[in-house]
Chains A and B, each alone.
Chain A
Amino acid sequence: SAVISQKPSRDICQRGTSLTIQCQVDSQVTMMFWYRQQPGQSLTLIATANQGSEATYESGFVIDKFPISRPNLTFSTLTVSNMSPEDSSIYLCSGGQLNTEAFFGQGTRLTVV
């Protein structure tokens, strides 16, 4: 299994600012993903982080709002841009190999005020 570390674990941000969340995996993984989980709800996929190329975004999520980087097989970042209170949520990074289970970080709890 892979161990996934995210930072920060939580943050309180002012509206209009941006926050970059980092995700580090302790081993090389083929797949890395970013999810959003609003309070009391399930996980919604934001995008697939592709190594060395642009991320693949799900419907309702765009690169200008959620730019993603993945410079190598063990690291990815998600930026939440021009934040509003509606962006308050838990952001989760996951990683794994193709056709196997995905492992998750502990999440970043974001509050926008």
Chain B
Amino acid sequence: GESVGLHLPTLSVQEGDNSIINCAYSNSASDYFIWYKQESGKGPQFIIDIRSNMDKRQGQRVTVLLNKTVKHLSLQIAATQPGDSAVYFCAGPNYGGSQGNLIFGKGTKLSVKP
């Protein structure tokens, strides 16, 4: 089965610095990964996704890197802002394929210091 986990439960960064949140997965057949941001009292919000035929994907201030060799992905946030403070989850397909339902990592709480 798939498992998705995060290396660090908390991350504290200075405003303006870059943030890197890491995630590992176990099923090499997984072909799709998503990063979600969850603010307090809200549901998870889609940030960015990446498919296994890519190593890197960029969005607005965010970049996701996928290393299939070591089954690791990361979310990089450039110039972190106080509004980025939230819990970040990586998620992947539950059964090793893109069947629609997701398994979530444990989450990393990002705190941005002004």
Contacts and interface: CB of A to CB of B under 8 A. Distances in A.
Query: Is the A/B pair a real complex?
Result: yes
Interface of A: 1, 4, 30-31, 33, 41-45, 48, 92, 96, 98-99, 101-107, 109
Chain B interface mostly: loop
Contact of A42 (B43, B89, B99): B89
Given A42-B106, A43-B89, A48 B101 contact: yes
Interface residues of B, number: 22
Interface pairs A-B: 3 shortest CB-CB: A104-B43, A31-B100, A99-B98
A42 B105 contact: yes
A99 B34 CA distance: 11
18 contacts: A4-B43, A30-B100, A33-B100, A33-B101, A33-B102, A41-B107, A42-B104, A42-B107, A45-B102, A45-B103, A92-B44, A99-B32, A101-B49, A102-B46, A104-B43, A106-B41, A106-B43, A107-B43
Nearest to B100: A31
Interface in B44-95: 44-46, 49, 89, 94
Contacts of B34: 101-102
A52 to B, nearest CB: 17
Most chain A Cβ neighbours within 10 Å, of B34, B42, B44: B44
Contacts of B101: 31, 33, 45, 48, 102
A109 to B, nearest CB: 8
Interface string B18-49: 00000000000000101010000111111001
Contact of A96 (B100, B105, B106): B100
Contacts of A41: 106-107
B64 to A, nearest CB: 12
A43 B45 contact: no
A105 B42 CA distance: 8
A102 B89 contact: no
